[in-house]
Amino acid sequence: MEIRLHNVSFSYDAGMTIKAFSGSFSSGSFYSVIGPNGSGKTTLIDLISGFLKPLSGNIEINSLPVFSFSKKNLARLIAVVSQDHTVNFPFSVKDIILMGRHPYISRFSLPSAEDIQKVEKLMDICGISHLQDRKINELSGGERQRCVFARALCQETPILLLDEAFSNMDIHHTLQMLQLVKQSVKEKNRIVISVFHDLNLASTWSDSLLVLKEGELRAFGSSTETLTEEIIKDVFQVDSIVEYNQHVHAKQVYYPMH
Amino acid sequence: MILFSLFLFLMIFLSLSMGYIRIPITDIFQILITKTASSLYSFKDINETHLAVIMDVRLPRILSCACVGAALALSGVLFQGILLNPLADPYTLGVSAGAAFGACIAIILNLSNAFVSVPVFSFIGACLTLFSVIFLSYSPKNPTAGLSSNNLILSGVIVAAILSAGISFLKFIANEQVSVIIFWLMGSFASKTWSNVFIIMIFLMAGFFVSIFFARDLNLISLGAKSASSLGVDLKKVIFILLLSGSLLAAVCVSISGIIGFVGLLVPHMVRFITGPDNRKLIPLSMLSGAILLLFADTITRAVLPHEIPIGVLTALTGGPVFCWIFKKNRFK
């Protein structure tokens, strides 16, 4: 499985949000996208997931254009945890997670025993079994995010796109979910592309980092190569100290006080 | 659901027997059996007046009323689901204002002698309004952002505002026809014919099949555009089709019976408390409840009250306070 972007550009109005982006993602790797607000991280995720159409350039999955897939087939390939996790009607948690099986259930049939079993297993793994009959809109932001996470995992796709999927979770659940994702990258040979604000989590957990600034790719590679004081200064305009940390076996960023 | 269907049948029979001329239920059975299955069995001693009253007056009125109730409720479910707004109703997109405007023009031009023209004009008015609202909220440059609920609601409000000013102007220049306009706007099921029943029935059936077909997609739409899209919903297609079905249903309703408020807003709300938000249950049950509710209201204006009140007025006068009560009770318990 490979995702390849070639010379992809996109803009909402006047300014370019993504400028001539090229890069490829392959199976069994955890990619992290970092960059300041408005640097095009979410747009990149939306382009890969086929939600937005690029102005120019092409996006291919296994050498086939994203738009050549039917919506349903694409939903069997790519699962997305988007930033917006509000649900407008009071569905129960279990119903929400069952929606992750939508691409596999034909139009007029009911979910099979296998579907239900998968839903229950995932609720168990994500630690939300005790919430299953609660209404989704009565939960806290972090709990809701875990439900959306479970729903995306339930889609059982080879590609998983996470757009700040951990932003409302406490550290316990963040680590638990990251562990889960990392494990599935290794065991199921998945491609995970995750947008992060926390540079240290990104560095610790991912195999490769993409650094975006104003829609342009500034650096793409392992965290040892990409995470440097110069790049952080250039992209985020902050002073930092970057050191290898032996406890997490990766580079970590510290922000000294003046 | 079976319970609701039974209730609807009971309601139809009760409503058939009630009225200026009271007809016993046994007579109704005899008439219906004779009419529908005369080859199997036919009763000899049927009262001719009763037969005419049932077959030519009450049954078409009752059936068109039940169908309009069901269609309005279904349209309400669709609009609330697409616009992600529990306050949306069939008239949110200005369909009613468009229909009313069309009807006013027909009345003023005195086309009402041609007998079909008022419904036809109002249907055309409703459709033109719908297309201008969709045109306003759709941008080919950014198709995913277009047709968003905010765009649609805003365009609907603007178009409806222009049209209601237009209606006021038409009333102003209408002279003696102004009472005809006002009466039409308030809605009524008086003197409905079998052709009305067939038209609304066809639209209702088509609308029902389309919405049941897309019911699960409609569930997913409530997760927001991005999530729904990533779960395999073809948003543009589904939203467009459902929007069109909901609006056409509303347009047919308005052209047949005038503007009847609150059914489309209230019924899906109440039913959601029983079934939950799953559209696969919500759609059929809302349709049955809408039919029951509107038939109940129409029977009251027709048979119980000494003077026939326009049904639109009755539903708003009773539906409004009921809605207030439900809202207060469920929001702040």
- Provide the phi-psi class of A168: left if phi over 0, else alpha when psi is between -120 and 50, else beta: alpha
Strands A56-61, A216-221: pairing kind: unpaired
- The CA distance from B265 to B258, in Å, is 16
Give me the mean pLDDT over the A109-131 stretch.
90
H helix or E strand, kind and range, residue A163: strand A159-163
Residues paired with residue A79 on neighbouring β-strands, in sequence order:
A160
φ, ψ at B245 (rounded to 5°)? -65, -45
Q: Given this model, what pLDDT does residue B41 score? A: 64
State residue A237's pLDDT score.
Answer: 92
How many CB pairs lie under 8 A apart between chains A and B?
79
- Chain A residues near residue B81 by CB distance under 8 angstroms: 89
Q: Does the beta carbon of B276 lie under 8 angstroms from any beta carbon of chain A?
A: yes
| Residues 95-124 of chain A whose Cβ lies under 8 A from any Cβ of chain B | 95-96, 99-100, 102-103, 107
Residue for token digits 């009911």? A110
User: According to the model, what pLDDT value does residue B74 have?
Assistant: 94
Q: A152: distance to nearest CA of chain B, Å?
A: 9
pLDDT at residue B144, as a whole number: 55
Q: What is the ipTM of this complex?
A: 0.87
What average pLDDT does this structure show over A133-157? 91
A203 has a pLDDT exceeding 90: yes
pLDDT tens-digit map of B127-168: 899 888 888 887 665 555 556 777 888 888 899 999 989 988
Tell whether the model's pLDDT for residue B88 goes beyond 70: yes
- Average pLDDT rounded to a whole number, residues B181-206: 84
Q: Say what the pLDDT of residue A30 is.
A: 94
**Given pLDDT bands bounded at 50, 70 and 90, which one contains residue B43?**
low
pLDDT higher than threshold 90 for residue B213: yes
Specify the 3-state DSSP secondary structure of B155.
helix
Between chains, do B227 and A50 touch, taking CB under 8 Å as contact? no
Instruction: Using DSSP, state whether A7 is helix, strand or coil.
Output: strand
Using CA atoms, how far residue B235 sits from A42, A72, B232, B243, B308, in Å, is: 19, 12, 9, 12, 45
Cβ neighbour number for residue A186 with a 10 Å cutoff: 12
Task: Give pTM, 2 decimals.
Answer: 0.88
pLDDT score of B116 = 64
- Cβ proximity of B95 and B247 under 8 Å: yes
- Sorting pLDDT into bands at 50, 70 and 90, what band is B201? very high
* A171 — pLDDT class (breaks 50, 70, 90): very high
Residue B259 binned pLDDT confidence (cut-offs 50, 70, 90) = confident
Q: How confident is the model at residue B30 (pLDDT cuts 50, 70, 90)?
A: confident
Q: What is the pLDDT of residue B326?
A: 75
Q: What pLDDT is attached to residue A204?
A: 92
Cα A90 vs. chain centroid, distance in angstroms? Answer: 25
CB A42, CB A218: distance < 8 Å: no
pLDDT of residue B7: 80
B232 → closest Cβ in A46, A71, A90: A71
Q: Is B159 helix (H, G, I), strand (E, B) or coil?
A: helix
- Residues 12 to 51 of B: which have CB under 8 A from any A CB? none
| CA gap B216, A99 in Å, rounded | 9
Q: What is the pLDDT of residue B77?
A: 93
Percent of chain A's residues with pLDDT above 70:
99
The tokens describing B13, both together, are: 């029979």
Spans of all domains in chain B: 63-331
**What is B241-296 written as a DSSP string?**
HHHHHHHHHHHHHHHHH----SHHHHHHHHHHHHH-S-HHHHHHHHHHHHHHHHHH
Half-sphere exposure of A56 (CA within 13 A, CB side): 6
More confident residue, B9 or B172: B172
Highest averaged pLDDT of the listed ranges A233-247, B104-118, B236-250, B291-305? A233-247
Stretch among A133-147, A158-172, B99-113 having the lowest mean pLDDT: B99-113
| C-alpha A141: how far from chain center | 17
Please state whether beta strands A56-61 and A78-81 pair in parallel, antiparallel, or not at all (unpaired).
Answer: unpaired
Per-residue pLDDT averaged across A124-141, rounded? 89
Helical segments of B138-261, H only: 149-173, 178-186, 194-213, 215-221, 225-230, 235-257
CA gap A55, A215 in Å, rounded: 14
Q: Kindly state the average pLDDT of the residues A60-67.
A: 91
What number of CA atoms fall less than 13 Å from residue B262's CA on the CB side? 19
Give the number of residues written for chain A: 258
Q: Which residue of A has its CA nearest to B143?
A: A52
Q: What is the mean pLDDT of residues B23-42?
A: 73
Residue with token string 């000899």: B44
Please say if the pLDDT value at position A130 is more than 70. Answer: yes
Cβ-defined contact of B276 to A79 (cutoff 8 Å):
no
Pick B223's closest partner by Cβ from A52, A76, A99: A99
The count of C-alpha atoms lying within 13 angstroms of the C-alpha of B112, restricted to the half-sphere facing its C-beta, is 11
A216: nearest Cα among A7, A3, A4: A7
Mean pLDDT, rounded, for A57-75: 91
Kindly state the average pLDDT of the residues B294-317: 84
pLDDT at A241: 92
Give the per-residue pLDDT at B142.
Answer: 57
Strand A29-34, strand A191-195: pairing? parallel
Judge whether residue B195 has pLDDT over 70: yes
Residue B173: per-residue pLDDT: 86
Domains in chain A, CATH or no CATH each = 2-254 (3.40.50.300)
Q: Residues B106-125: what's their mean pLDDT?
A: 76
Contacts of A89 in chain B (CB under 8 A): 81, 86, 222, 272, 277
Q: How far is A207 from chain B (nearest CA, A)?
A: 25
The tens digit of pLDDT for each residue in A84-96 reads 878 888 899 999 9
> Hey, are the CB atoms on A91 and B84 less than 8 Å from each other?
no
- What pLDDT shows up at residue B330? 67
Residue that wins the pLDDT comparison between A206 and B236: A206
Residue B37 pLDDT:
66
What architecture is domain B63-331?
Answer: Orthogonal Bundle (1.10)
Two tokens, residue B268: 């899906």
Q: How far is residue A201 CA from its own chain's centroid?
A: 14
DSSP one-letter code for A81: E
| Mean pLDDT on B61-67 | 90
A84 backbone dihedrals φ, ψ, rounded to 5°: -85, 110
State yes or no: pLDDT of B179 exceeds 80: yes
Instruction: Measure A183 CA to nearest chain B CA, in Å.
Output: 23
Beta partners for A61? A3, A64
